[in-house]
Structures are given as C-alpha cells and as structure tokens.
Chains A and B, each alone.
Chain A
C-alpha cells in the first residue's frame, strides 16, 4: 500500500495518457491512465484516487458526465479538468459544478502542480 497519492488521468488522447502519468510520477505521485470515463468507473481505482485529471470532451461519457456520476455516487474525488478546447464559457460552468480547476492544453508544469496542490488540500 503506497503512501503516495494516486492521481488518475482520464483522457481519450493517447499521448496524454502516455506522457502525463510519467510527469506525475516525477512529481512524486502515483499515477494511472484510463482511455474513457467508463473504463475508470469499472476499475478498482475509483475509491483510491486522490485526484482526477479529467478530459472534457470524450466519446461516450464526457468529463462533466463523469463529474455528475461521481457526485451521484457520493464519491468526493477532487477533479482538475484538462481540455484542448479553449472555450471560456465552459470553465466557469465546470468550476460551479465543483471542479477544482480547468486547465487548457497545453498547460505548464507549474499550473498543473498548483492545481494538484489545491486539489489535494481539499
């Protein structure tokens, strides 16, 4: 049983699933990647995840869909959204729904760390 917080990455983009966990591990976190919201929900990681790095637009269940689903399951996992669509109207809506942060791809290491720190303090 690792004492390091587990960060779960849910993104349909393969390069994100490939690169982000490595960086998170460099930061000193445990990291896992899932290609869809459905895959994440079906895994054992849901209850162990300390923070979710969640893509907004995905085929099938979207990021906000997963956010609602976790809420209805009373799973209080802090969520940091990551999206390649720079849409200023989306961010306030996601934050209002309880997201910790919404990062626009490409984001810097600093922004990511700041968001994770906020999330893990909750």
Chain B
C-alpha cells in the first residue's frame, strides 16, 4: 500500500513533501527532486531550504509554523538555477489524539499566472495614472503632439491608440501590434538607427530615438520616441513605455537651418575662391609695378654711368657707384621674379577633381562685365560629360582667366568684324581633356610664335608678358601642354590639354616644378 501511495505521489503534477512537527522534512516526491535537482537525501532535514529564494524563505518558515493549513507563494530554484514562482500549501497532520504529528504539503508552478498578474498590475497602475491625469495628459499630448505607447515586447501585446496610429498615418485599429509591422512603417534608411537606439535602451533602459516613418500615402514624417525599457528577471526586455511625438516641423526647421548654413559656407568659400582667382589681375598689375621700379633704376643708373664715363676727364668713381646701383636694381628685379615663382610653388598646389566646364563657366561669370565693356561676344562649346581632371582648381581658373583676358585684349582694336571669343572643351584621345580659346584678334607673327610663352614677351601695349609664361608653367605642372595656333582667318587659338587623371606620384612631383622663368 505504501508503495502504491508512493507511486501516486510521484505521479502528481506538483511537488509533494512531508515534514516532522519540528519542520524537518522527511520526504519529497520525485517531481520535487526533478525540479530542484536535489536528491531525497539532500532535501531532507533543512536541505530543502536551499531550493527556496532567500527573500521568500522567512515568510515560508513563518507560514509552516502555523497550526492550521497555510498558503504561501515563493520562488523556487530549478535545477538550472532559474527561479519560478510556486504556490505552497501545507496542511498539519494530526494523530488520533489530535496532537500534531507532522505536515504534508503540495507546491505547484504559478509562474505564468504571476507574470500575467504582474502585467495586469502594471497595466492597471498605468491605467490608473492615466485616468488620474487624463486631462493633463491630453493637454500635454496635444501640446507635445505626442502619444503614449506601451508595448509588451515578448507578448507582442501592443495595442496602439488611434492617435498613436495616426502618427504613422494609419487608420484606427489597423495596426496589428507586431514588431515586423512596425518595422515596415519606419523609413528603411532610419531603421539601422532605430535598432541602434533599441540596443542602447537594452543597456541603459532609456529609449530615445528619432526616425522617419513613411505613411501609406507616401509622405514622410519625423517621429521622436522617448521612454523607458523594462526588463524581466533574466534581464530580457519585456516592456517599453513612453511617448512618441511628431517632430516633423522641428526637423524641417532644423533641415532648413542646416541648408542655409551650408549655403552660407558655400557662399563664403566661393567668395574666397573668387578673390583668389581675381587676384591674378591684381597680381599682374602688382608684378608690373614691382618689376618696373627696379628697371627704371637700372636704366637711369646705366644712363648716368655712361655719361660719367663719357665726361672729360671720366668720373670713374661716380660711374662705379652708378654701376653698383645698376647691379643692385637688377637683383631687385630678379627677386620679384623669385617671389612670383614662390607663388606657384608646391605649397599652393592643391589636388582635387576639377570640372573644366564648371571652372570655365565660373571664370566667364566673373569676367562678364569686363567682356561687355570690351564689346566681346562670347560663345561656349562645352562638351557634355567632360571627364574631370585632377588638379588645382584655382590655378587652372587663373589660366582660363588669363586666356580670356588675352583674347579680349587681342581684339581691343578690332572694329571691322565681331570681337568673338569662343571657349571650347572636348575629350581628346588618350584620356586627355582639351580646352581652347579662339579669338578674332590681330594674331601674331608666326616667327615670334616661340617667344609667346617667354616671360616679359608681350604684343600688348600695356602688357607685361607674364600671363602666358605663368599659364604654361601651371599647365605643365598638371602634366599638360599649352600652345598657340594661328587661325585660318583672324586671330589665334590657345589650347591646353591635360590628362583626365594624374598619378599620385606625379602630383607629388609638382614640388619639383620647373621654374616659371625660362631662358628665351
């Protein structure tokens, strides 16, 4: 009989135990042993206590002292260390005399029920809080254009209010509460950011994310979610509570602000750029002045020197002094050239991708007034899809500006035909890009062709002969060529051709650039 009873007890879907009047356990069933991982022997006496959560043990011991039946709810440790909630019921066993001879009891798993109660309790609390502050909340929600959310992650118990759904452009009651559906609503570009925010929330408990959502009508709206993440005993997130707010207006303003700041930055750098390009004109005038001063000294001193030597008797000391000054002024002129060279040295060469069409348009725009004043008719034939070249945009624009000015100047005396200046860009074979400037000016004597690019050689009345020399140096620094061809009719075509890309090593090689001055 005892064996039969034992079999029944072992088959019960609960943990069964018996104890002596002093509370010492003398029997546990097989379910107990299987759940706790403790053997019968280990569980007897006080051994069973190690299976009870330390926080719940005092309450249970108190309960077991009772002379009548007792009930308790305690967390019991499973063999794998996980605690689950159990209901504990103990009944006193009395002998025929009515004296207490022991206790027996049954414990059963109530973990799921506990969880539900917890959720319910919290929900009720939330509900109460919401109800208590309903008016204030409504007001706050309207003011913040925000809606509360409360999401039980594991259960996917996620019921959205119609207002919450409205934030996503959804009709009331159409959101099914699943994570995947939510994911579908978030803008794909922003999803990684949302995931990142959720990961952050898993570490800190704080939810803070801003993301775009795509409404069913295709419109895009910015939402900001802020709240708390709650975790279960295992540290797994199970609930998210917080507010979602529509921040589209703020984001739009921010975006506009950013755009205007970018535009301002761009304008600033463009201005700086224009100043640098235009400075070539100022530079040329300044160079002319700087060179003319010592040249003037040289000529005056040399004249004086000759007169002193021609005198009878010759003023040798005076001649020596003026000759010394002549040499000094000659060095001064050389210094000006050296400074000019330094202007185009490596430290000023930047390497970037340059669109020659764009660079040309900018130079033309800068020179518009000058061209109008000189009654120059400008035409452009800029190639579509012109590959970009690697180089220094400012320097290349200085070359373009120089060719424009040269062309314009060459036609200043032309009155019997249109003063037409044609800018043309084209792709050359062998991965090169070519820009040519064709004028209808007076042209040049073919015999002087070689001297065109020499410094101080000029065909212009007011020219200094620096522009083409500097231009050729710049183009050569870009691994290119600059040359002039007489037109069939009137004028000249200046052309430069540079590779669409140049190797890094060659860019570095600019440091060892050839001097601007070439002996001619």
Query: A residues within 8 Å of B by Cβ?
Result: 13, 15-16, 18-20, 22-23, 26, 82, 84-88, 104-109
Contacts and interface: CB of A to CB of B under 8 A. Distances in A.
A58 B295 CA distance: 18
Contacts of B462: 86-88
Interface centre among B292, B296, B318, B328 (most CB of A within 10 A): B296
A82 B295 CA distance: 13
B288 A85 contact: yes
Contacts of B325: 15, 18-19
B291 to A, nearest CB: 8
B297 A26 contact: no
B301 interface: yes
B296 A16 contact: yes
A16 B297 contact: yes
A93 to B, nearest CB: 16
Nearest to A19: B300
Contact of A107 (B290, B294, B299): B299
Interface of B: 285, 288-290, 292-301, 303-304, 307-308, 318, 322, 325, 328-329, 332, 461-462
Q: Classify the interface of chain B: helix, strand, loop or mixed.
A: helix
15 contacts: A13-B296, A15-B293, A15-B332, A19-B297, A19-B322, A22-B301, A22-B318, A23-B300, A26-B303, A84-B293, A84-B296, A104-B292, A105-B296, A106-B298, A106-B300
B295 A106 contact: yes
Given A22-B301, A23-B300, A106-B299, 11 more contacts: A15-B296, A19-B300, A19-B322, A22-B304, A23-B303, A23-B307, A84-B296, A106-B295, A106-B296, A106-B298, A107-B296
Contacts of A19: 297, 300-301, 304, 322, 325
> Which 5 A-B residue pairings sit nearest by Cβ, starting from the closest?
A105-B296, A15-B297, A84-B292, A106-B296, A106-B295
A13 B308 CA distance: 23
A8 B295 CA distance: 21
Contact of A106 (B292, B322, B332): B292
Contacts of A105: 292-293, 295-296
A26 B292 contact: no
Contacts of A15: 293-294, 296-297, 325, 328-329, 332
Contacts of B304: 19, 22-23, 26
A84 B322 contact: no
Contacts of B292: 84, 86, 104-106
Contacts of B288: 84-86
A103 B433 CA distance: 45
Contact of A84 (B289, B299, B328, B332): B289
B303 to A, nearest CB: 4
Contacts of A88: 461-462
Nearest to B295: A106
A121 to B, nearest CB: 22
Nearest to A17: B297
A29 to B, nearest CB: 13
Contacts of B285: 85
Contact of A85 (B289, B308, B322): B289
